[in-house]
Amino acid sequence: MKEVIGMLRGIPSIISPDLMNTLMRMGHGDEIVFADRNFPADTCGKRVIRADGHLISHLLSAVLPYFPLDHAVPNPVAVMSLVGHDQAPPVWDTYRKLLSGQSESFIDFEYVERFAFYERASQAFAVVSTGDQAFKGNIILKKGVVRDS
């Protein structure tokens, strides 16, 4: 059964009107950050969209059918790199499955050092602040173009 948001059909209810508006206003090469509950969203973000109580993986699942990834760059998706003996978090496998199923542009993540990630987030079009608690769950998507078939 399709969910209804506002007066539109087919838009998952997890995508708020603010998030849909933001996705539509983004241009080619703009980036959006999906951030966990510990991320300094208000410090880093030019525009902050609240998605409290939601998991990043659920938001990605809802957003990716509408969001073209940039095919003109080697890695249109970035995560915060590991430090020391950190193990790759299970959520990255979840993201890989979601991204591989929705975009031919996704091959692997770009791994970005923590403070460089924060700097990049400060230049992003928007930061979506979630309630996610997954270790290293923050992710940046670079928007591509919609092409006619």
* Residue positions annotated with a catalytic role: 28, 70, 118
- Look at the alpha carbons of 100, 12, 25, 52 in this order and tell me if their dihedral is positive or negative: negative
Buried b (16+ CB within 10 A) or exposed e, 69-97: bbeeeebbbbbbebeeeeeebebbebbee
Amino acid at 108: D
Q: How many CB atoms lie within 10 A of CB 126?
A: 24
